[in-house]
Chain A
Amino acid sequence: MLMGRYIPGDSAIHKMDPRSKLLVMIAFIAVIFLANDWLGYLLLLIYTFAGVWLSKISISYFLKGLRPMLGLILFTVIFQMLFTPGEHILFHFWILQVSIESLINAVYIFFRFVLIIFMSTILTLTTPPLTLADGIETGLSPLKKLKVPVHELGLMLSISLRFIPTLMDDTTMIMNAQKARGMDFGEGSLLQKIKSVIPILIPLFVSSFRRADDLAIAMESRGYQGGDGRTKYRQLKWQSRDTILVISIIIMALVLILWSKVSK
């Protein structure tokens, strides 16, 4: 599973502030919808691959990240191809038709998917989950004015991340314990498979409750009273390369807007 995996490195992208990366990632998704012809997509493609190249991570990791989504992408692309109305019809069968327009549309949608996945893969591959959580927390801090509990969300996120390996260990332990007692996993009909999950799930829930209880007491004993009046040990540093990154996506957006105006 590649989702959310971090690959250590010291490339320019690795050293960037998670806030700038998150910001650009979100902006990029919006920018993609500004492109409406092949030149626009070419530009986006160059931008994305410049990112891939700068991250110094082998392209095979990105292709692996694409694999689980491939089914969904092909499904959408084929539907777009068959059901989009167009003038120059190439192929016609019952209510299905393939036209040049629908074919082009399908290709665009394919690229949209691929670019978004590549871009988000760059983000997760180059940013440690923790730093990402920090970035999300500080990135959301303007929402404090709207009474969004930003500190609590950040804390929940970082505790969840910290407990993922612990809970994975728990799961393996419980599975092995149930196997030792004669449980068969992954055998029989679908219903039996679902039923066999219960002896893992319930102990896992119970142990999570206990962990949560212990953790809350330990936190309280160490003086945790909520977000007010807390200082922060971790500090994010915004450097000039982050400013350059943000400017690059703004330029990108401007170029695409201008281009679509001109081409009309």
Chain B
Amino acid sequence: MGQKLAKFDIIKVMNKILEVENLHFKYEKESEVEQLDGVSFFVEKGEWVSIIGQNGSGKSTTARLIDGLLEEFTGTVKIDNEVLTNQNVWDLRRKIGMVFQNPDNQFVGATVEDDVAFGMENQGIPREEMLKRVDEALLAVNMMDFKKKEPARLSGGQKQRVAIAGIIALRPEIIILDESTSMLDPTGRADIMRVIHEIKEKYGLTVLSITHDLDEAAQSDRIIVMKDGKVAEVARPEVLFGSNEDMVEIGLDVPFTSNLMADLRHVGFDLPNEYMDDKKLTQVLTGMLKK
């Protein structure tokens, strides 16, 4: 843990790549209810931040505002120290790659390679460069064998990998995952998370992940909890999932091991108040049993 904290401190000195300040937004002008009601947070360069919250808490809306996909909001979005405006939205969007929920509906190209090339075509990248980057991106997500295949012949997880390849090819600085694994089976989900972890390390990316999967969130550097269009809490997963009561109050669940720890504490085990994943917990428990 000490090592992780040290890394965290170094990052702190570095710049905030994404800053969101006091965002207010509603889908319909006349509507009384605000979808977002003063959302503020920041993401450091190289961080993996997860946003969790119930359906309708404004997670996806926030992601879409950051990418400039929704208009007419108040507050500021700063990407790489530049304030998002109508004029620079296309430039700033280049720094962000978004992977959406439904693997079928974001597949624009007619074949895998066309889909990977789509974003590059939009940016006017010369064809020679595109050929190179398509291969590179497909290798990175391990989809080279499927280069010429049509989307109808791919599984959901494979389509999501293609979507990620399309983003790698664009070389963004931030990847936003908008519930990208929620329509996949557990194998596909684990597979996608592994791929994203790999490319995050390889290209030094920043990841903002919106998710319902708490085990996925538990692996991130920080977690932002949203409730009713507000940021309810920002904390490291170890702290956040340490105690169940706060989370249940917000209306969210906690990861499996967190519940297990609470039960163990209840029957008299003396466990630390910090969240641990299954491996860590196994270690601690075997250590206790040996004593």
Residue from the set A166, A169, A233, A235 with the largest chain B CB neighbour count within 10 Å: A233
Contacts A211-B104, A221-B93, A225-B90 given; does A233 touch B110 at CB 8 Å: no
How many residues belonging to B are interface residues under a CB distance threshold of 8 Å? 41
Complex interface bits, B131-151 against A, C-beta within 8 A gives 1, otherwise 0: 100100000000000000011
Residues of chain B contacted by A214 (CB below 8 angstroms): 100, 102, 105-106
- In chain A, what residue has the closest Cβ to B100? A218
Residues of chain B contacted by A169 (CB below 8 angstroms): 152
Complex interface bits, B103-134 against A, C-beta within 8 A gives 1, otherwise 0: 01111111101100111111111110011001
- In chain A, what residue has the closest Cβ to B104? A166
Determine if B127 and A231 form an interchain contact, defined as CB atoms under 8 angstroms apart: yes
**Is B78 part of the binding interface, using a Cβ–Cβ cutoff of 8 Å?**
no
**Is B64 part of the binding interface, using a Cβ–Cβ cutoff of 8 Å?**
yes
Determine if B94 and A162 form an interchain contact, defined as CB atoms under 8 angstroms apart: no
Contacts A218-B100, A230-B124 given; does A162 touch B109 at CB 8 Å: yes
Determine if A222 and B69 form an interchain contact, defined as CB atoms under 8 angstroms apart: no
**Is B166 part of the binding interface, using a Cβ–Cβ cutoff of 8 Å?**
yes
Determine if A217 and B166 form an interchain contact, defined as CB atoms under 8 angstroms apart: no
Determine if A222 and B134 form an interchain contact, defined as CB atoms under 8 angstroms apart: no
Contacts A211-B105, A218-B100, A233-B130 given; does A165 touch B150 at CB 8 Å: yes
**Is B253 part of the binding interface, using a Cβ–Cβ cutoff of 8 Å?**
no
In residues 168-220 of chain A, which contact B (Cβ within 8 Å)? 169, 210-211, 214-215, 217-220
Contacts A162-B151, A221-B67 given; does A233 touch B106 at CB 8 Å: no
How many residues belonging to A are interface residues under a CB distance threshold of 8 Å? 29
Which DSSP category, helix, strand, loop or mixed, fits chain A's interface? helix
Residues of chain B contacted by A218 (CB below 8 angstroms): 98, 100, 105-106, 108
A219 to B105: give the CA distance in the assembly, Å. Answer: 10
**Is A232 part of the binding interface, using a Cβ–Cβ cutoff of 8 Å?**
yes
Question: Taking the nearest CB of chain B, how far is it from the CB of A6, in angstroms?
Answer: 11
Determine if A235 and B127 form an interchain contact, defined as CB atoms under 8 angstroms apart: yes
A residues with CB within 8 A of B: 130, 133, 158-159, 161-162, 165-166, 169, 210-211, 214-215, 217-225, 229-235
A-B contact pairs, 9 of them (CB 8 A): A166-B152, A217-B69, A218-B98, A218-B106, A222-B167, A231-B124, A233-B118, A233-B120, A235-B127
Q: Which 3 A-B pairs have the closest CB atoms?
A: A214-B105, A218-B106, A233-B117
